[in-house]
Structure 1
Amino acid sequence: MVLGNEIRSNGLQSILSRISVTVTLDTGSTIPLLFSASDETPGMDERGTYTETNQTYGNEEDTAVVHLRFRSYETYVLTSVQGELISANDFGKQRCFSAQNGIILHIEEMGQVDGLMANYQHKDWWTRPHFNHDWSTLPERTQSLLWSKDASYFHLLPVCGPEFRTDVCGSATGLQIRVSSHQGGRSKCKTLSFVLGIGTDPYQLVEQHVDAALHALDYPTLPRAQKPYPEILDSLGWCSWDAFYHQVNEEGLLIKAEELKAAGLPVQWVMIDDGWSQTIDKKLSAFQADQEKFPQGLAETVRRLKEQHGVRWVGVWHTIAGYWGGIHPESPLAKQYSDYLYNNARGSLIPYPDAARGFGFWHAWHSFLERQGIDFVKVDSQSAVLNFTKHEWSIGEAAAAAHQALEASASLHFNNTIINCMGMAAENMWHRPKSSVSRNSDDFVPQDEFGFAEHALQNAYNSYYHGAFYYGDWDMYWTKNHDDIQNAVLRSVSGGPVYFSDAPGNTDASKIWPLIYQNGRIIRCEQTPSPTADCLFLDPTKETVPLKLWNMAQGSGVVAAFHIGKFTDEVKGSVRPSDVPGLKGEQFVLYEHFSGEMKLMRLNEQHDFVLQPAQCALYLFIPIVGAATPIGLTDKYIATDAVSEVKSEGATVSLSLKEGGTFRFVSAGKEIAVRVNGESLSVVSVSEQLYEVDIPKLEGKLTVVLSVSE
């Protein structure tokens, strides 16, 4: 194989040069193809200069041909696959690709690596990480593959295009890249298959690959960085699921809402989860709420939540098929909206997998919900699209149609505010046009004594690649639970929604306040987090290392550390400001939330720590500015979020605070005066150079002036 100069020079040549091709027929037989021709042409587009290499593979009988096109830019290559099976004539027996793994690219002899982390679809709905260096153990349905070798990072991102989906898995001798339509009768294939790139920053690498692939596909789907975060989900929420499960009803919702109001917790939105709908045999039978559970109708429940209990927004749950089993075929609903519903081969009735026709169903239901006062939706069971349409539609077509129809309606009625859920299969991730929030892991299971370890592991490592597409929803949690503090800290760094699901009588408000402001706004980090580089290729549930996640807040670095090992020993770890990529500055204040420990550090200086089982720590790295460095409101987990508009002029530092509370700052000065909105406040010395001021919770923006004298 001959590739362009850019790829030759950066190490990808050795990987791509070892590709061989086989095709699988729907009869189950496999045809190995032989390399037959190659050509190379230079080019340029808005993404830079590239070299395009076309490789042709065929068999001696000329019944199968596959063309591989490698468009090689400086640090990555976009690979497209075009294949055709040729039959003797159009009226005889036809040769067709197998619906699954119709074309397979084999990459032999991948060699030893220094580290490896893959994200694979371990259930129909969810992905989790894999860390084994042995290529043969790489699981089927791998959706992102990162490895390191000789101080470089390599990333392979399979693509789900308009029709075909690509997956990666290991083989006895290397890798297999598998292309599937999940539809029978296809004799042709044309798809962008994967992106492969190399770099020194693993976090920029995955974002570059997602952006490049979406651009090449010319999709309406946008990467996360170009999607607005929903206003509703910037506030604290409560969800009915783990409080009531399927027994949710009007009475229980109003009792819980009254409890939250009495506690003074500013819950701004309520999600009415599974259990509210009218169903028969796990199939939707009506748009209206279950009459026994909601005797006055959904609208009355929503009205009382808003008018009597101060809830600003109410959402409801449904699945991408209406309910788990779709629409009940004998219901009046099925008859009234038959033009918008599809009856698959096994008799399941679902919104039509055509964007225009499917929109008709969602528009009708969402119109009804909007009239009841509903403001947004959580849409579950999204990866069931394949299960409902397998063999009948190509997976790309079915998923694109399902999501375009759903989002067109949600945009019209709910300002496109959707919590996408149970949808981490590639076909879902690649085909949501505008929605920006998606569940990032399997469910939080409060009854599982050891559930936090797997929940944290999935969220942490899934976020590496999922965060390039979406803001992650890290699920609800309980404020009274064996893992309540760890769950709260995990969500404080998630960059996504914060909502809890305690049953009546069980909410511990003290576990909520560190996550929110008085007005109910959540304290949300600026990015989606990822494991720090030193644990990116390690499994903290099995090795004696802490799980560490990094993020940013108001120009400061955030690193959360967790002990999630399945053993009883303590774990030792270290943090440094350079754990946070892109953090600006040379000198920093380190501040740990739980201990109040503070120290001054250089960018690459190391701070060691020890965690006991089920313990976590939360570190902030604040660039030192002028005569005093504000830490922020230290009664909040992400203290620095409250600080903005910092100005340093000689011995004076001024700043704005979002609200009052316990404000701490660092200064080497001997005498310090603090004024808030012009009023002097007393200053307490906490430890050497660490000071604290108790700032009243006044209305409006607070202006803080720190005056330092030597």
Structure 2
Amino acid sequence: MRNLFPQRVLILFITVNTIFSLSGCVSHSKDNNDLLCVEKNVLNTANAEGSDALVLKNFEARPANGLLKEISVDLPAYESVVYFSTDHRDKILDAANRIFPWAAKDLQTIISKGFKPDPKAAEPSRNGLYVLFKLPNNEFLLLQGIASPDAMSHFTINDNGSLKIKLVTFGTETVSGDIPLVAYAKSDNLYDVFENAWKNAINTEALAGRTAMRHEKEYPEMFTYLGWCSWEQYRRKITSDLMVDAMQKIEESPLPVRWVLVDDGHQHQTGFKMGDSRMLSFDAHPETFPNGFKPLMDLRSEKIKWMGIWHAMNGQWQGLHPDHELRELDPHLIKIDKKFRGEPLPVMMPKGDSISSWMFYKGLIGSTKKHGFDFVKIDNQNRQMRFYKGKENPVKTVSQHAQSLERAAHELSGGLINCFCSDLLSLMNTKYSAVSRVSVDYLLNNMEKAKSHLFQSYQNTLWMGQAVWPDHDMFHSSDKFAGRMMAVSKAMSGAPIYLSDAPDHFLEELVTPLCYSDGKLLRPLAPAVPLPESAMISALTTPEAYRVVAPLPNGAAAFVAYNLAHPTPQQIVKTQISTQDYQHAGSFIQPAVPKWKVPEEGLVYYDWYDGKGGLLNDQYKIELDGFSDCFVQLSPVKKGWSVVGCIDKYLAAAAIDAIEYNQSELKLTMIEPGTLVVYNKKPVKCAMASKVEELGGGLWKIYFPKGKEKVDVTVTL
């Protein structure tokens, strides 16, 4: 069993002589080797063992161009690397939702000319948040930046391929105190290094109580049901009449959509582009929503139970207009001079002190409650830093805003979806919120974007999923390239699932497998993550299968194998799902559980798309032709039986409760009647069923009349 307790924090006692002048070396507490030589500003990760967070004790420095300190990193020999950074070579601010998992043989390759593995991204940025190394002895070494309340660290790849750590504020104010520098973890278990590094970082004294593990947070009720969002279909063209029409059609639709999210386009603002939009008030736009949000609220029903609203972290993309109507906030705002297309664009932003920050976010989130909304989606979070760049301490200010947002959403709203938040400052300040976007936006009917979106969503879950459930964004069931693929990936995420089709374009056959008749979603026990070897590949350039796994109830595991390479290879990509893969299924469950073991009687596989399966003989071979996926569930065999589950649903095993295995009979509860598949070598019967059909391979398909109530089932030989 893995160590479930937080790892110790290694405190680095650093004596400050003058600003930027440090002396002394610090030894790694596990042996006599020097891990960090302060005098030479070198971190020797070749000697790293286990996991720790390194903290600069009694540190004091004044930033030069926003930089407090640089430390070179001596690396061990490694076979390959994954560098989590944004795109555009020198970018670190404004990463938004664009953190890509750049995989290569070495760091030098990642910043080499012509290295551009993602067709929907620019060249990789040299500035990153995480670095994952695969070592020659089948171990992994992870280095993780840390965003504390006063400073944040990130990595930079030098031109010669070496690595350094930068401690920054992007401001001018002197920083002093015990400042976390970096976390690291080394293990032969991929999932352990991400979990241990994260735990070490958030358990430093500076970060204590500012965030939490995923399982420690309350998951909002509405996100356990199917939803709908206006953005991808209508963008900023929404009006009151359009939203009323959409909601009326959703009400009439046979699909059980239980919540509606009013996305960007409703605000009382000037300008309608991201670059020039400034908020005038917290009300709806008087021209496009002349009666405010009341016409929408009047359409609440037993079906559409919850309503959500979108806002930007700054109120609007570019903050508040100087002539805004929220004059009570004036004492809590500062003016920031920006430009748009070469012309001055003054904006108002909340001050960085705790009172001003709280007054702004209490006002913003409080307004959503006043208008009748049940939850909020907050966008543009990690772009805040640029607004404050060059002022006293932007890291401190943005950290304070994140804490104020969390408190306001916790006290005044029923839920929060974090968006444009793939950065350490956002994640390390998710004190209450349990949901965050982890990927670039989904885009309708765009194969390149779909591949990038899927790859990024699963890879970023490795680090973001420590603290939140990974929102894979909305999707169109009617997407001609990836409708079913997106539906399955959303099911695997365990996060909110929300459609964005025009309501009369819903493809019911792709959506109903996600939920029950009341819209309640079937969810895995933990978010899906890549299998260890997939986590290290460049899936968008390599003609290899990218494979992910999510744990399901009753000892079952769901796997998806993707062919994401672009251009799509002409040759068939071959892969498999094996008994060894099953052992990784529970690795992302929180709190941590022992590594799953293959049952003595073996496993049964079920290919959901092909509707076939049987006893797994070590591995199930898969062929992927073109941009495609294969969706397979493995279920344990006990006393001769295995329960695949209700195959009307993607996560079939999650539709079954309270299984009781006996040699001659099987008892279980179907959460909602449908089509049940079980395994036994011998013929089976069920008195309650309308029909029993042999599928081959020992699988039996048992049909039940449709219903909405739980039903207890007995299957006998």
Are 1:659 and 1:698, in contact at CA under 8 Å, matched by a contact in 2?
yes
Per the alignment, residue 293 of structure 1 pairs with 288
**Residue equivalent to 1:118:** 83
1:265 is paired with a residue whose SS is: coil
Q: Structure 1 residue 244 and structure 2 residue 246: aligned?
A: no
Instruction: Map Cα deviations across residues 674-704 of structure 1 (whole Å, 9 max, x no partner).
Output: 14xxx35431112231111111223422111
- Residue 81 to residue 311, structure 1, CA distance change in 2 (3 Å): same
Which structure would you say has the larger Rg? 1
**1:205 and 2:193 equivalent?**
yes
Per the alignment, residue 136 of structure 1 pairs with: 108
For 1:154 and 1:54, how far apart are their aligned partners in 2?
14
Pairing 1:594–2:589 present: no
Q: Deviations over 1:71-115 (max 9, x none)?
A: x997112212358679xxxxxxxxx4324443111123x354223
Aligned partner of 1:641 among 644, 654, 660:
654
Mapped to 1, the partners of 2:685 and 2:435 lie a distance apart of: 44
Q: What aligned pairs does 1:567-606 form with structure 2 within 5 A after superposition?
A: 567-569=568-570, 570-580=572-582, 581=584, 582-586=595-599, 587-601=602-616, 605-606=618-619
2:489 equivalent in structure 1: 490
- Quote the residue 1:342 is aligned against: 334
- Cα offset, 1:395, TM superposition: 3.7
Q: CA deviation at 1:230?
A: 1.5
Q: For residue 238 of structure 1, give the secondary structure of its aligned residue in structure 2.
A: strand
Tell me the TM-score normalised to structure 2 length: 0.85
Partner of 2:372: 373
Counterpart in the other structure of 1:324: 317
Picking from 673, 696, 699, the partner of 1:687 is 696
Q: Any idea what SS the aligned residue of 2:279 has?
A: strand
Q: After TM superposition, give the deviation of residue 319 of structure 1 in Å.
A: 0.6
CA deviations over 1:606-649 (Å, ceiling 9, x no partner): 22211111221111110112232111111211111101211112
Once the two structures are overlaid, the 10-residue window that deviates more, 111-120 or 606-615, is 111-120
Identify if the C-alpha distance between structure 1 residues 67 and 589 changes in structure 2 by more than 3 Å, giving closer, same or farther. Answer: closer
Q: Structure 2 stretches of 5 or more lacking a match?
A: 1-9, 88-93, 111-124, 272-276, 339-345, 585-594
Report the CA distance between 1:543 and its aligned residue. Answer: 0.8
Instruction: Return the match for 1:76 from 51, 54, 60.
Output: 51
* Greater alpha carbon shift after TM alignment, 405-414 vs 188-197: 188-197
C-alpha contact 2:211 2:432 (8 A) present in aligned 1: yes
Distance 2:367 2:38 in 1: 55
How far apart, in 1, do the equivalents of 2:706 and 2:241 lie? Answer: 35
Shift of 1:41: 9.4
Asked if 2 retains the 8 angstrom alpha-carbon contact of 1:68 and 1:79, the reply is no
Identity %: 20
Shift of 1:190: 4.3
Match of 1:535 in 2: 534
Tell me which amino acid in the other structure corresponds to 2:148.
Answer: G
Letter of the 2:169 partner, please give it.
S
The one-letter amino acid paired with 1:235 is Y
Contact 2:224 2:520 in 1 (8 A): yes
* 1-structure distance, mates of 2:178, 2:389: 19
Matched, 1:612 2:603: no
Q: Is 1:145–2:131 an aligned residue pair?
A: yes
Q: Does 1:454 align with 2:452?
A: yes
- Tell me the TM-score normalised to structure 1 length: 0.86
3-state DSSP of counterpart to 1:493? helix
Query: 1:660-699 to 2 correspondence within 5 Å?
Result: 660-670=673-683, 672-675=684-687, 679=688, 681-699=690-708
Go from structure 1 to structure 2 and tell me whether the alpha carbon gap of 1:349 and 1:699 turns closer, same or farther (over 3 Å shift): same
Tell me which moved more, 75-84 or 460-469: 75-84
Query: What is the number of equivalent residue pairs in this alignment?
Result: 652
Q: How far did residue 459 of structure 1 move?
A: 0.7
Q: CA offset at residue 187 of structure 1?
A: 6.6
Higher mean alpha-carbon deviation, 354-363 vs 569-578, is at 354-363
Q: CA–CA distance in 2 between the matches of 1:227 and 1:336?
A: 33
1:381-400 mapped onto 2 (5 Å cutoff): 381-400=380-399
Aligned to 2:157: 170
Task: Tell me the SS of whatever aligns to 1:349.
Answer: strand
Counterpart of 1:267 in 2: which secondary structure?
Answer: coil
Match of 2:115 in 1: none
Residue 367 of structure 1 and its aligned partner are, at CA, apart by 2.8
3-state SS in 2 of match to 1:551? strand
The answer to whether the 8 Å contact 1:661/1:696 transfers is yes
Matches within 5 A, 1:269-288: 269-281=259-271, 282-288=277-283
Q: Deviations over 1:481-521 (max 9, x none)?
A: 12211111211211211111012432211121111111101
312-321 vs 252-261, which moves further: 252-261
Counterpart position of 1:93: none
1:398-413 matches, within 5 Å, as 398-413=397-412
Structure possessing the higher relative contact order (Cα contacts under 8 Å, 6 or more residues apart) = 2
Over 3 Å counting, the alpha-carbon distance change for 1:481 and 1:290 in structure 2 is same
Shift of 1:387: 1.1
In 2, Cα distance between equivalents of 1:41 and 1:563: 43
The residue aligned with 1:63 is none
Q: 2: CA distance between counterparts of 1:131 and 1:317? A: 34
Cα distance in 2 for partners of 1:588, 1:193 equals 45
2:666 counterpart of 1:653: yes
- Matches of 2:451 and 2:28, distance apart in 1: 50
Check 1:278–1:600 CA distance in 2 against 1; reply closer, same or farther (3 A cut): same
Q: Structure 1 609/296 Cα, relative in aligned 2: closer, same or farther at 3 Å?
A: same
- Take 1:688 and 1:469, find their aligned partners in 2: how far apart are those partners? 41
Q: Residue 80 of structure 2 contacts residue 106 of structure 2 at CA under 8 Å; is this kept in 1?
A: no
Match of 1:232 among 222, 225, 230: 222
Out of 308, 311, 318, which is 2:304 matched to?
Answer: 311
Deviations 1:350-382 (A, max 9, x none): 233333322222323333322322000000000
Amino acid in the other structure paired with 1:579: D
Give the C-alpha shift of residue 300 in structure 1: 2.8
CA gap 1:704/1:598 in 2 versus in 1, 3 angstroms: same
Check conservation: 2:25, 2:38, Cα contact below 8 A: no
The answer for unaligned runs of 5 or more in structure 1 is 1-12, 26-30, 43-48, 60-65, 87-95
- Paired residue type of 2:681: A
Please give the per-residue CA displacement for 1:463-495, whole angstroms capped at 9, x wherever unaligned: 111111211110011111122111112112112
The amino acid that maps onto 1:163 is D
Contact 1:294 / 1:301 at 8 angstroms: preserved in 2? no
Q: What residue number does 1:8 align with?
A: none
For the residue of structure 1 that corresponds to 2:631, the secondary structure is strand
Rounded Cα–Cα distance in structure 2 between residues aligned with 1:51 and 1:299: 68
- CA-based RMSD: 3.0
Conserved? CA contact 1:22–1:104, under 8 Å: no
